[in-house]
A and B are shown apart, each in its own frame.
Chain A
Amino acid sequence: MNLSRPDRQERLDRLAAEYALGTASPRVRRRLAAIARRDRTVAAALSAWERRLAILAEDVPGIAPPPRVWRDIAARLGLDPEGASRTRMTWWRRVELWRAFAVASFVMAVALGVMEYQRQGRPVAAPLVVVLAGADAKPGLIATASHGERYLTLKTIGNTAPAAGKVFELWALPQAGVPRSLGVIPTGGIVRVPLPAPVDESLSNIPSLAVSVEPPGGSPTGQPTGPVLYSGSIERMY
Chain B
Amino acid sequence: MSAEGPPRGAHSASGGGSAATQSQAWGDHANVPERPATAADRSVQLAALLARVALADQRAFAELYRHTSAHLYAVAVRIVRDGAVAEEILQEAFVRVWHYARTYDAAKSQPLTWLTSIVRNRCLDQRRRRELDTVSLAPVAEDDAPAWDIAAEGPTPVELLLSSAQARSVRDCVDALDAGPKQAIALAFFQGLSHAELAAHLREPLGTVKSWIRRGLERLRRCLDAAGVTG
Residues of A participating in the B interface, judged by any CB pair closer than 8 Å: 13-14, 17-18, 21-23, 25-26, 29, 33, 44, 47, 49-74, 76-77, 79-88, 134-136, 138, 140, 157-164, 166, 213, 226-227, 229
Q: Which chain A residues lie closer than 8 Å to B124 at the CB level?
A: 22, 29
Residue of B nearest to A140 (CB): B1
Q: What are 21 A-B contacts defined by CB distance under 8 Å?
A: A17-B214, A17-B221, A29-B128, A49-B221, A52-B224, A52-B225, A52-B231, A53-B231, A54-B113, A56-B165, A58-B167, A59-B163, A62-B22, A62-B73, A64-B73, A70-B65, A83-B58, A140-B2, A164-B5, A229-B2, A229-B4
Top 8 A-B pairs ranked by shortest CB distance? A83-B62, A163-B5, A67-B15, A62-B70, A51-B231, A54-B231, A59-B164, A54-B113
Interface members, chain B 83-113 (any A CB < 8 Å): 86-87, 90-91, 94-95, 98, 108-110, 112-113
Tell me which of B5, B58, B78 contacts A88 (CB under 8 A).
B58
- A67 lies within 8 A of B14 (CB): yes
- B14 lies within 8 A of A64 (CB): no
Question: Secondary structure at chain B's binding surface: helix, strand, loop or mixed?
Answer: helix
- B15 lies within 8 A of A162 (CB): no
Q: Which chain A residues lie closer than 8 Å to B16 at the CB level?
A: 62, 64-65, 67, 70
Chain B: how many interface residues by the 8 Å CB criterion?
A: 100
Min CB gap A169→B, angstroms: 14
Min CB gap B76→A, angstroms: 9
Residue B161, interface by CB 8 Å: yes
CA distance A63 to B13 in the complex (A): 14
Q: Which chain A residues lie closer than 8 Å to B154 at the CB level?
A: 61
Tell me which of A18, A61, A229 contacts B25 (CB under 8 A).
A61
Q: Which chain B residues lie closer than 8 Å to A69 at the CB level?
A: 15, 69, 73, 87, 90-91
Q: Which chain B residues lie closer than 8 Å to A55 at the CB level?
A: 164-165, 168, 170, 224, 229-231
Residue B6, interface by CB 8 Å: yes
Residue B3, interface by CB 8 Å: yes
Contact string against A for B residues 122-165, beta-carbon threshold 8 Å, 1 for contact and 0 otherwise: 00110011000000000000000001001100110000110111
- B160 lies within 8 A of A52 (CB): no
Residue of B nearest to A88 (CB): B56
CA distance A88 to B22 in the complex (A): 33
Q: Which chain B residues lie closer than 8 Å to A29 at the CB level?
A: 121, 124-125, 128
- A22 lies within 8 A of B189 (CB): yes
Residue of B nearest to A77 (CB): B98
Given known A23-B194, A83-B59, contact A14–B214 (CB-CB < 8 A): yes
- A59 lies within 8 A of B14 (CB): no
CA distance A56 to B8 in the complex (A): 38
Residues of B participating in the A interface, judged by any CB pair closer than 8 Å: 1-9, 11-18, 20-28, 39, 55-59, 61-63, 65, 69-71, 73-75, 77-79, 86-87, 90-91, 94-95, 98, 108-110, 112-113, 116-117, 120-121, 124-125, 128-129, 147, 150-151, 154-155, 160-161, 163-168, 170, 174, 185, 188-190, 192-195, 198, 213-214, 217-218, 220-221, 224-225, 229-231
- A67 lies within 8 A of B170 (CB): no
Min CB gap B188→A, angstroms: 5
CA distance A163 to B20 in the complex (A): 22
Q: A58-B25, A60-B74 are in contact. List 16 more A-B contacts (CB 8 A).
A: A14-B214, A21-B189, A21-B217, A52-B230, A56-B160, A58-B39, A60-B75, A62-B23, A66-B87, A73-B94, A81-B6, A81-B7, A85-B59, A87-B56, A164-B8, A213-B5
CA distance A135 to B108 in the complex (A): 46
